Structure 1
Amino acid sequence: MNAQNKMVSEFQIQGNKRLKTVFIKNISDVKAGVVLDSALIAKDIKRLKFLPAVSHAYFEVVKETESMYKVVYHIIEHFTLIPSLNVYTTNDDEFAYRIGLHEFNLLGRNIGFGGFYQKDIYSSYAVNLRAPYLFSNTFGLAVNYQDLTTLEPVFFDGSTADYRYNNESLEVLGLYTVNLKNRIEGGINYFMEDYKYVSGATSDQVPQALNVHKWLLKLIYDYNGLDYYYHSISGFRSLFTFQYVTSTNDMLPDFFIAWNDLFYFKRLGKHGNWANRLRMGLSSNDKTPFAPFSVDNNVNIRGVGNTIDRGTGSIVFNTEYRHTLYEKGWFVMQGNAFIDSGTWRNPGGKLSDFTDPDNIKVYSGLGLRFIHKKIYNAIFRIDYGHGLTKGATNGLVFGIGQYF
């Protein structure tokens, strides 16, 4: 468009019901009275598509005079009060679930608020608030509280013990949107960890009870170049997280942990979507049974079991092909075939641990996705993972949303 003499005479929003018009106008670069610029419009539409409340957005430009144009943004909304469910099992008859409820468009201003209840032998719960545009179209705030209790394996001297682990935390993060593709989060987390011995091996070097208070400093940098067309995704994303943890107990020394998730998505034809995630992470290499990186069914390797091992470094690669088997109206059924693979550095170990066959896990499997196109993140997934490496298990993983 020739931007020298064409102006926006009127800026309208249509199609939105719960998402407030004033909120959409506040976060948009296009305003009444500015120069008509196709680049600004394209930027606004892409920003709107990132909002959980927006299923799809498009625009039209209506000529009113030779120099004055009306710009209209059309919004197709998601339903945003979403229940969540995650269920996972293995062939060891292990069973756990998490149920929750989350509103992604509280007050019509893209504020997320919700929580969950988890039963993984013990009961846990959490409450989360996230308002990325609370103060302006670039500054926001997130507050998270959780009381998480699980039965955790602790590994030492070739032996294993089970501990009841409780983590109660309160976190406050500042959110800053640099531009459409780049955002930064930073803040502090105060938490209490409580370990209590349940069963298994014991050692004079490993306490049977431990209660410690910690402070955690967190920094997140997110480059997001993904492009969404309903449930199909294309593009590249890099998500980096750094944490520094300071402890009040010498048994759990201060440490850092950092990891980076690289995502690559490619649409293949009309019905195919190739999805990839590579996670690389390292932490302080203390020889501790409480190492931060875990091998876990519901996080990185489908079918492997719930926290079967720990390490101070992690390399995980997930790849899957998603294919639309049926689509009509709001409903989509997707099939997928995947390979999940990963390796870990042992606590106090060497980088060569990453190539140790005992540390390498490879699982493959098939899954189904049942998708509601008009409800945000309404993707019910079922995956079955079968181990291909030494000592492997197999199991089902159920959940809401794509695995990655």
Structure 2
Amino acid sequence: MKAVNKNHKSIHLFLFKIIIFVMFWLSLNCYSQEKRIEKITFSGAEKTKTHVLKKILISKEGGILDSIMLNQDMIRLKRLPAISNANFQTSCANNKCDVVVTVEENFTIIPEVNFHKTINQKLAYRIGVGEYNFLGRNIILGGFYQYNGFDSYGVNFRAPTLFSAKWGVSLNHQNWTSEEPLYFDGESANYKYQNISYEVLVLYQYDFKNQLQFGINFFKEKYNYLNGSVSPEVPNQLDVNKKLLKLIYTFNDLDYNYQYINGFKNEFHGQYVTSENEYQDDFLIFWNDFFYFKRLGEKGNWANRLRIGLSSNDDTPFAPFALDNNLNLRGVGILVDRGTGSIVWNTEYRHTLYEKKWFVIQSNVFVDTGTWRNPGGSFSDFTDSNNVKVYSGIGLRFINKKIFNAIFRIDYGHGLTKNASKGFVFGIGQYF
């Protein structure tokens, strides 16, 4: 009996070894059947450095061929200012694949010429230039000069992949001067406002959809009384140094096809500002922008932006949220009010009227709705009919598909609520 049991054990051990061998062989065979990327090449990249584009891709040479990942890489490339469109083709032999990525490059040296009116209806202008693919390395370098009765200028440098595919840096300097209204006790006064700032931000891309920016801004604010009402509680002159800690978190799931956008995006801004003066305390401010875009038919695009913002609720004329033509409600006017909270919904339908090769004419019909919390007020201010503003209107876009952000827009907005204004708003790029 012992001999029989021993033989049975030997047979079981032998069968077990065979099973292990077969499983090991099958695993090796399955592994060897996986298609792998042997080489990635780029077509159409004349200015942009191909090693910069390779660094941005998640798909790597030697890695597994994954069409889902490659499609995400094409979306990632189309988000770059330098690239207007991207697609890929693969060819495989013996499970070794060559991937050819074809890109269409944008012209990225963009001049800026802009004319607008100030709060006292004087004509102002702004000129500048930006290179959105500096040295072919996905670096943004730009500057501007503005005259609106005062001289202003700014320079900026942004390199999102300077250190690696995930880490970059942004450096900004601005010397801004303008005439701005302050509102208090139902009255208003105009001040010469100057802001001199230096900012450093660290840029981090966690993955395909999630990005983070954080850093510090050192700035000096100056207010000098020009004309209007006066109050013993509001200084005629203010000169204070401040520090601003900044955090921006972005979730981006947008897909671009030239002038058409599909998907949604969320962008959170948080700031903590410290100052040392009797008129302004340290304060927190945040706002969150939610964007939703839907392609409708062959030529239509529905676009939405919902902004919700709050700050420390100090009863001060220096409240941070402005009601302005160029920021939130088209047709409302220039800096017509301020608040410590803001809820704004912009919605519009964009329709391509004409498209020929590189040129597009696009129309839009929009509704802009917003409400504000008064400085020192309560949340019930958001539902106060005096604070709710609704504007509607139409507009046109003239688009060059081969030049980054080459969109000239003109909108006409008309107020639908009481004591409303109306007017034209011009600008570069889509309103949102």
Which bin holds the TM-score, normalised by the shorter protein?
over 0.9
Task: Tell me the alpha carbon deviations over residues 337-391 of structure 1, each in whole angstroms, 9 at most, x when there is no partner.
Answer: 1111111100000111111122122111111100001111110111111122222
2:75 corresponds to:
46
Residue in 2 that maps onto 1:235: 263
Matched ranges for 1:143-182 at <5 A: 143-182=171-210
Q: CA deviation at 1:250?
A: 2.4
Q: Which of 142, 146, 152 is matched with 1:118 structurally?
A: 146
- Is 1:321 the counterpart of 2:336? The answer is no
**1:374 and 2:402 aligned:** yes
Counterpart contact for 2:119–2:334, Cα < 8 Å: no
- Indicate yes or no: 2:396 matched with 1:396: no
Measured in 1, the distance between the counterparts of 2:119 and 2:367 equals 19
Matched, 1:28 2:68: no
Show the 5 A alignment for 1:104-253. Answer: 104-253=132-281
**Matched residues in 1 for 2:118 and 2:273: separation?**
32
Amino acid at match of 1:177: Q
Equivalent residue of 2:380, what SS?
A: helix
**What residue identity is the alignment partner of 1:375?**
I
- 2:44 is the alignment partner of 1:15: yes
C-alpha distance in structure 1 between counterparts of 2:111 and 2:208, whole Å? 28
How many residue pairs are counted as aligned between the two chains?
Answer: 402
Deviation at residue 334 of structure 1 after TM alignment: 0.4
Following the alignment from structure 1 to structure 2, what is the Cα–Cα distance between the partners of residues 199 and 45? Answer: 55
Q: Structure 1, residues 225-244: CA drift from partner, whole Å, max 9, x if none?
A: 11100110011110000000
CA contact (8 A) 1:89 1:395 kept: no
Q: Which stretches in structure 1 are left out of the alignment for 5+ residues?
A: none
* 1:299 partner amino acid: L
TM normalised by structure 2 equals 0.90
Contact 2:223 2:238 in 1 (8 A): yes
Greater fraction strand? 1
Unaligned runs of 5+ in 2: 1-29
> By how many angstroms is 1:39 displaced?
2.5
Counterpart of 1:348? 376
Q: Offset at 1:94?
A: 5.5
Instruction: Please identify the structure whose Cα radius of gyration is greater.
Output: 2
Larger displacement relative to structure 2 (227-236 or 113-122):
113-122
Identity among equivalent positions (%) equals: 58
* Range 298-307 or range 255-264, more displaced: 298-307
- What does the per-residue CA deviation read over 1:36-69, in whole Å, with 9 as the maximum and x for residues that have no partner? 2222212211111111100100000012x22111
How big is the alpha-carbon RMSD for the aligned residues of Structure 1 and Structure 2?
Answer: 1.6
Q: Give the stretch that moved more between structures: 9-18 or 28-37.
A: 28-37
Offset at residue 122 of structure 1 (A): 2.4
Q: Does the residue aligned with 2:136 lie in a helix, a strand or coil?
A: coil
TM-score, normalisation: structure 1: 0.96
- Match for 1:357 among 378, 381, 385? 385
Deviations 1:303-352 (A, max 9, x none): 11111100000011111111000001000000111111111100000111
Q: Distance in 1 between matches of 2:329 and 2:148?
A: 18
Question: Deviation at 1:5?
Answer: 2.3
Q: Which has the higher contact order (CA 8 A, sep 6+)?
A: 1
Asked if structure 1 preserves the Cα contact closer than 8 Å seen for 2:397 and 2:410, the reply is yes
- 1:291 is matched by which residue type in structure 2? A
